[in-house]
Amino acid sequence: MSSTESQPDFAIEVPPEKRPRHIAIIMDGNGRWAQLQDLPRIRGHQQGATQVRLVTEECCRLGIEQLTLYCLSSENWKRPQEELGFLMFLLSQYMIEERQTMVENNIRLKIIGSRERIPTDVQQEMDISLELTAKNTGTTLCLAINYGGRAEIVDAVRRICSEVQDGSMATDDIDEQLVSDRLYTAGMTDPDLLIRTAGEMRISNYLLWQISYAEMWVTEKMWPEFCEADLMRAIVDFSKRRRRFGGLDKE
């Protein structure tokens, strides 16, 4: 794992073939960032939303095929009701305010996770944005909302069991590809690069199946201070790694 403490040579150009196709980010540290500045936690979430826009636009500029952001975990419902209410408001506003930007930048929106507990008005705004961007062919922005990796796998197992029971498939048909096709991320490529902010060394129930071979990159910076230069550092570091996938380096 690396952090932004190591300063890469920005004169090194990373050719497209050495860039990650799919970047996943655990956006951690909004509340801590705010508290360190004697601000209410919601100010951290506001600033974090601004960074989402900046990082998404930079991924578009770099030709990154997909960006998946961990916006709200299924465990986050344990937080104070006031904070959760503000997060739902912020999500609704993001859908409204960024909708035109996504259309203009050819961004395709995708949302994974459970809709349970998401307010109806927020779901409606999500659906409008999903429909308006469905035919876009640029960077796919995938937001993980009320998402948990274990729950995703359990849902996939239930679907497979149901299909076996109704006779539409046999147990011998079950392989890794079939499981992948029953996950929320069906049809997506797996992440090549997993970034986590705020220095935490864990994956927090995020994309458990999909990140099996992802390169991890951790920074001490909190999400509200993570910027385009930090993204570039992560990509430069990624481009220098040797991805063997269990094999040996080629001679």
Q: Mean pLDDT of all residues in the chain?
A: 92
Is 237 an active-site residue?
Answer: no
Q: CA-CA distance, 182 to 22, in Å (whole number)?
A: 19
Q: CA-CA distance, 124 to 95, in Å (whole number)?
A: 10
The amino acid sitting at 225 is: E
CATH of the domain at 39: 3.40.1180.10
Total domains in the chain come to 1
Q: What tens digit of pLDDT does each residue of 38-55 get?
A: 999 999 999 999 999 999
Whether residue 247 lies inside any domain: the answer is no
Q: Name the residue among 161, 86, 155 with its Cα closest to residue 114.
A: 155
117: left (phi over 0), alpha (psi -120 to 50) or beta: left
Q: CA-CA distance, 24 to 242, in Å (whole number)?
A: 19
Whether residue 34 lies inside any domain: the answer is yes
Q: Name the residue among 115, 99, 112 with its Cα closest to residue 69.
A: 112
Q: What pLDDT sits at residue 111? A: 98
Q: DSSP code of 205? A: T
Whether residue 224 lies inside any domain: the answer is yes
Q: Name the residue among 195, 196, 210 with its Cα closest to residue 150.
A: 210
Q: Name the residue among 208, 84, 72 with its Cα closest to residue 146.
A: 72
Q: What tens digit of pLDDT does each residue of 199-218 get?
A: 999 999 999 999 999 999 99
Residue 48 tokens read as 């974090």
Catalytic residue among 76, 105, 136, 205: 76
Residue 112 phi, psi (nearest 5): -120, 155
Whether residue 251 lies inside any domain: the answer is no
Show the 3-state SS of 14-65.
CCHHHCCCEEEEECCCHHHHHHHCCCCHHHHHHHHHHHHHHHHHHHHHHCCC
Q: What tens digit of pLDDT does each residue of 50-88 get?
A: 999 999 999 999 999 999 999 999 988 988 899 999 999
Residue 188 phi, psi (nearest 5): -95, 155
**107 falls in which pLDDT band (50, 70, 90)?**
very high
Whether residue 245 lies inside any domain: the answer is no
> Strand (E) positions, 87-222?
108-112, 140-147, 193-196, 215-218
Whether residue 1 lies inside any domain: the answer is no
Q: Which domain holds residue 95?
A: 18-240
Q: What pLDDT sits at residue 13? A: 75
Whether residue 2 lies inside any domain: the answer is no
Q: CA-CA distance, 157 to 151, in Å (whole number)?
A: 10
Whether residue 7 lies inside any domain: the answer is no
Q: Name the residue among 190, 191, 218 with its Cα closest to residue 202.
A: 218
Is 205 an active-site residue?
Answer: no
The amino acid sitting at 137 is: T
